[in-house]
Amino acid sequence: MTDTKSERRIAKIFKANVYSEGAGFLVHRPIGDRMMTTKETDPFLMLDELGPKEYKKGEFKGAPFHPHRGMDTVMYIIKGQGAHQDSMGNKGILKPGDIQWMTAGSGIIHDEGRNHPGGMLHGFQMWVNLPKKMKMMDPAYKTIRASQKPLFNNSQGVKAHVIAGQVGDIEGPIKTVTPIQYIEFILESGSQFTHKIGDEMETAIVYVYEGKGQFQKREADRGTTIKFEGKGTITFKGGPKGVKFLLLAGKPLKEPICWKGPFVMNTEKEIEQAIRDYRTGNLVRVKATELLLTSDNTRSPDKNSPEKKSPDKNLS
């Protein structure tokens, strides 16, 4: 349920810091650094904004092969394109508006951004924690093309691409392992909207990536991160030239977090095991499957996906 009679309060507001990632590209990091603790952002671990930046052909080196275990990683391309592949043969290209929702689960080794053709590149990568009982689930992908994203449009200057969760009567295309909302809002100048967030989703964060707007009557422009507290709704309004932002809301797992690089588990022992598995070629236990949408929006394996395979012993 959502308490529609109360509004969430702003707990923190700050500018995202810049970091070097992958093979040396720069990102803005609204979530995942010293500005907020993992307790404050639970179940979200990280949100990175790549670009917007114009690259020459071959200039963007991406993030060469690297492992993951224990979380979901979500890539959303706003402009440009990004290739991806993993050590078990899965590969593809994300184009403007496309999303790849990847459950690393028990383990995956993948490569992002290789052979970039040049041009404008702008996108986001988000990490969402998995509950303890699901951390060793089989890895899986879900690719959502731009044409598949549900669009909320109130015909009064407010649009929303609903990636996960719900805006009005519009629901996102997949049900997530960890209950969250992941929504891109686009507001025209002067347009206003009050968004409902379920009370169980105690964590609510906004990141403004273009323009200027008001959030609970507080102004925020590009690069601003806003952390809300309490229960109820959030009201926002487009500035003189409109505003575009991401809204993340989620139900905290309230479990211990042990995080080292690309591995997020619950204990040091589990992290040590993940590192040992990676070094001995046992991290990837099964090939990740591509998930299709079912009529009830739940995730279902693609029947045409290859069967499970044994770990690749050649990994180092």
221 bridge partner residues = 212
Bridge-based pairing of strands 203-215 and 224-229 is: antiparallel
pLDDT on residue 286: 83
Beta strand 180-187 pairing with 158-164: antiparallel
pTM summary value: 0.89
pLDDT at res. 277:
95
Starting at the earlier edge strand, list the strands of the sheet with 25-31: 17-21, 25-31, 44-55, 119-129, 71-79, 99-103, 140-144, 289-293, 299-301
Position 141 scores a pLDDT of 86
- Going from the C-alpha of 175 to that of each of 106, 152, 165, 171, 211, the distances in angstroms are 19, 18, 8, 9, 30
- The pLDDT of residue 316: 28
- Note the pLDDT of residue 297: 40
| Block mean pLDDT (10 aa), the chain, length 316 | 77 96 88 97 97 90 90 95 83 92 92 86 96 94 92 96 95 87 98 96 98 97 98 97 98 97 97 96 86 44 38 31
Query: Within the chain, where are the H helices?
Result: 38-41, 268-279
Alpha-carbon span 261 to 222, nearest angstrom: 28
H or E stretch covering 220: strand 218-221
Q: Which amino acid is at 188?
A: E
How buried is 181 (Cβ within 10 angstroms: 0-12 exposed, 13-18 middle, 19+ buried)?
buried
Residue at 42: amino acid letter: D
DSSP state of 147: G
Instruction: Give me the pLDDT at residue 2, please.
Output: 54
Residue 301's pLDDT is what? 44
pLDDT for the residue 170: 96
